[in-house]
Amino acid sequence: MLRGYTQLPLRRIALWGFGLHALWEFGQCTVLYDMWDWGFWRATVWMWGAIAGDVVITLGVALGAALAVGARRLDPPGSVGWAALLGVGFVASVGLEWGAQALDLWGYTALMPTLTVLGHTVGLSPIVQVTILPALAVWGATRHRT
């Protein structure tokens, strides 16, 4: 079943995803997430765990988009590939952020723009993050392949 997915450079996608998500997480968390009363080590471990999870999500979005439109359309992404990556990323982001809020995994500061989805307040920043960064990781990993 995963035969065609080996065409995707999954290691490169993971590396691009790691870099993009690390920048995003460290840029947004101190401002948009309510973590100030956490201890240094708890916050540090949580951040690196979140980034590792983001890499797994990035690979899941890439594989989901490849399942939807075929891996060839993602290497590098054309208009159909971009639409699949952004669409799968958006659905994943809303579902994952809703689940995190339903489980009360983290809270937001007053600066986080939010919306209510099925009775839970979800942050727009993580939705934008998981919608856009996996697509950018696939693009970065495939744009100069030889």
Do 20 and 45 contact (CB within 8 A), yes or no? no
Q: Residue 108 gets which letter from DSSP?
A: B
Domain ranges of the chain: 3-142
The model scores a pTM over 0.95: no
**Per-residue model confidence as pLDDT tens for the chain (146 residues):** 455 555 789 999 999 999 999 999 888 876 666 666 778 887 788 889 989 999 999 999 999 999 999 999 999 999 999 999 999 999 999 999 999 889 988 788 888 889 988 888 898 999 999 999 999 999 999 997 65
Rounded Cα distance between 115 and 132, Å, is: 18
